[in-house]
Structure 1
Amino acid sequence: MERRAKLREIDIVRSIAMIGVLMVHSTSAATLEMKSSGLYGIYNFLNIFFKIGTTSFILLSSFVLFYNYYPQPLTLQRFKKFYRNRLTYIIVPYVVFSVIYFVIRWYMNHKPWDIPLMWPKFLHDLLNGQAYTHLYFVFISIQLYLLFPVLLYLFKRFRWLAASAVVIGVGLQWAFFLYNREYWQVQYRGSWSPTYFGQYFLGAWLGIYFDRIKSWLIIARDTVTKGKVALWILLWAVWLTAGIKYVSIFYQARMHRAVFSNALYDALWDMYTMLTPLILMQVAFLIGGRMNTSFWVGKLRYLGVISFGVYLVHPIVLLIYRQFPPNASNPLMVHFWYLGGYCCALFISWIVVTAICRLTNWSWVLFGSVPNQMKAVDAEKEQESGRGTRVPSASPSVSG
């Protein structure tokens, strides 16, 4: 069976999600230390409105997997290759960076270098995605990769399950929320995949039915109808409303110690983070046709290609950067210092990941499939240059 077209615009969605991750992490300290500033509302907005990274990456991963694999026959060889590539390219970097960040934290906390003392703590953190604050995402991804073949079989075997994927995912997600709140009380809820079933199952549904629904989701002049315009306006209105309300309750809680129910936080977070990737897809497909002609769109796509590496590296950059705080008596310098943290996290991580991938043969140990994705983009550019024409946004295969 012929494979579906590669959607290069997905790299742009990944890049925007990565920008969101960097924004949240570079403003996290400001939400604690800048409450007396007249610009605190801006810091709170940037920190909460951009909480789109993890959930968008999860949805995109699910989307690409089901978009790629659902039309294909289920074979043992295909699943062997899937596990070899996916789990090798994610488990090895996860373990390596867990060791790196664990050692850094241990050193900074001035704890004794005692292996019998360190090993149980490291093993606990590794098995809970807690070696450093951002590694929970990789831990979740491992869980979802393990779950994928089961869901793929069920969705192909029972088509009604595929059609109902979003409802099923949200139902399972909220069952986990409620039972965890009342009975289980899992310590690190955000490190376990059921927390993101709504986003994951929505990504699966989009991947399975994308060819049917893309004309309703993607904004294009030649397919505009009144019904589609009404749907797009409704989508953006609900997304903005949920996002602004989500920002607002955090501002009230942080500044005025207002108390809101956990259910309200979860509901707004769920609505906002499930709609955000749809909005980002619309933006990506609007500008994606210019990725070969626009410098900035091309760089935006490149950030998406190396986003996994940037995600793993940037906390080290921020950790070092924060060892050199500005003079607190100069408010303007403090604001520029926070801006500098964001820029360093983005550009230094960008340079480090690119350099290691370009100059070494073992970079997959650190960054998984990023080196292969970079080579694929390079080959694509060479092919297009040889043709002397611009290739349309969909090419014969989909990476995933």
Structure 2
Amino acid sequence: MADLQRTIDAKEAAASNRKERLPELEMLRGLAILGVLTVHATSSAVVAVQNSWVRDAYVALNAFSLFCVPAFIFLTGFVLFYNYAGRPMSWSGLGAFYVKRLKQLVVPYIWVSLGYELAASALKHRSWEPSDMLGRFGKHALNGGAYPHLYYVIITIQLYALFPLLLLVFRKLRLPAAAAVPLGFAVQWAFYLLHLNVWHLEAKGSWSLTYFAAFLLGAYGGMRPNALKSWLGIGEQSRGRGGKLRFALGAALWLAAAAGFLRMHVAYRSGGAVPEGYWFEIGYNLFTLMTTLMLLGACIQLGNGRKARKPAAALADLGALSFGIYLVHPFFLLLYHRHPPASATPLIYHLWTAGGFVFALGASLLVLLPAHRYVPGAWLVLGPAPAKFGPKPKAEAEEEAAADVRLQEATE
């Protein structure tokens, strides 16, 4: 009887710790990966197109899409604190946390880095001496240098390493969730000023503290999701004039931040006058955070709309596959950009640029979907398979096979 009661208590505790599913997070992740693809697909056009309104349009599109990495980091903070802030963290739990992250993040990162390292060695005619290759690979594995986009994985590894310490700080000091927001800005700007005036780091963007405001803003959202919705002027608590006013104020601030940052970015790329001092850093910080919050609000509204179920589901599916897409899409863009259009006609060039986006996304999905479903061990390179796209459960597969047999017998 005692064993039975303990089992019931354990099940009840597990149920109480089970968090409500938030599909808007996967939808925001889907928008973020589209932003990554846009940045990379337009990067060559930003340089190649001559100064004109067309180039300004490319620069603005490229700059607007820069919200993507802070959005991913916001989501990392949100998910970690949402899932773990209410749980006790024992030494065994801490070990399980790191083992899970090692398996899901570090292992695919190492294999993908090796693949990009070999590809770069072949394309750039580097030395194939084992000692030279091992030396390069070891250095690049530590700093994400095997290919430019892999710096983001290094940042995520740093954040996973810091997370238990941050959680301990919040618990021991009994900090309110709202303290996460000013703390994130304080740490990020202290790091930025130290870099600018003392350290002069070679690759500031490869350090997680560069994005700490986004991470701890996500932490606040994870600990207080309903309060974040209230901030945005959406959700049950935001109905009425107060919610509409907050939403309008947030939208106005976002539009102002976006207009200011994009204007500075376009002027800088075109050789125009730009403000001196910290304005670029301030503009980037405010624009990316405000864009992330506004897009999160849009995802919540989209998920609640009955007429938008298919777009919402498509975005959520894209978000579920985003890590694999992030890892492999530069390889397809690299192949695509090795075959520029023969014609110099502007229209052909613009179509070719847009085609890079479509090709990178389509080719990534064509690799990921069958690999996750049918290739054992694909997670070693592509990351963990989302439940929806992973191997089918044995019972389901057997039922489908039986249905196929019945269909064949009925039609013979």
The answer, yes or no, to whether TM exceeds 0.5 is yes
Match of 1:334 in 2: 349
Moved more, 136-145 or 228-237: 228-237
For the pair shown, which has the larger CA radius of gyration, 1 or 2? 2
Match of 1:125 in 2: 140
Question: Aligned partners of 1:37, 1:350: CA distance in 2, in Å?
Answer: 35
Is 1:358 equivalent to 2:397 in the alignment?
Answer: no
Match of 1:141 in 2: 156
Question: Aligned partners of 2:148, 2:388: CA distance in 1, in Å?
Answer: 26
Task: Report 1:263-274 matches (<5 A).
Answer: 263-274=278-289
Assess, with a 3 A threshold, how the Cα gap between structure 1 residues 58 and 291 changes in structure 2: closer, same or farther: farther
Specify every segment of 5 or more residues in structure 2 that has no aligned partner in the other structure, as ranges: 1-12, 397-412
- Higher helix content, 1 or 2: 2
Of residues 37, 42, 45, the one that matches 2:60 is 45
Match of 2:106 in 1: 91
Mapped contact 2:116–2:147 kept (Cα < 8 A): yes
Q: Aligned partner of 1:357: which letter?
A: H
How far did residue 233 of structure 1 move?
A: 1.1
Is 1:315 equivalent to 2:314 in the alignment?
Answer: no
Match of 1:396 in 2: none
Question: Aligned partners of 1:23, 1:140: CA distance in 2, in Å?
Answer: 21
Aligned length: 379
Of residues 245, 258, 276, the one that matches 2:291 is 276
Mapped contact 2:232–2:250 kept (Cα < 8 A): no
Specify every segment of 5 or more residues in structure 1 that has no aligned partner in the other structure, as ranges: 383-400
Question: Aligned partners of 2:308, 2:92: CA distance in 1, in Å?
Answer: 39
How far did residue 257 of structure 1 move?
A: 4.7
1:76-132 per-residue CA deviation (whole Å, 9 max, x = no partner) reads: 332222111122210011111111111111211112211222222222221111111
Mapped contact 1:67–1:207 kept (Cα < 8 A): yes
How far did residue 261 of structure 1 move?
A: 3.2
Mapped contact 1:41–1:251 kept (Cα < 8 A): yes
Aligned Cα root-mean-square deviation (Å): 2.1
SS in 2 for 1:160: coil
Moved more, 272-281 or 259-268: 259-268
Task: Spell out structure 1 runs of 4+ moving beyond 4 A.
Answer: 220-223, 290-293
Is 1:230 equivalent to 2:268 in the alignment?
Answer: no
Q: Aligned partner of 2:281: which letter?
A: D
Assess, with a 3 A threshold, how the Cα gap between structure 1 residues 253 and 213 changes in structure 2: closer, same or farther: closer
Is 1:249 equivalent to 2:261 in the alignment?
Answer: no
Match of 1:20 in 2: 35
1:232-271 per-residue CA deviation (whole Å, 9 max, x = no partner) reads: 1111111122122211111111112535436111101111
How far did residue 294 of structure 1 move?
A: 3.1
How far did residue 38 of structure 1 move?
A: 4.1
How far did residue 216 of structure 1 move?
A: 4.1
TM-score by length of 1: 0.89
Question: Aligned partners of 2:382, 2:282: CA distance in 1, in Å?
Answer: 34
Provide the identity percentage.
36
1:270-317 per-residue CA deviation (whole Å, 9 max, x = no partner) reads: 111112221111111111135897333221111000000000111001
Match of 1:390 in 2: none
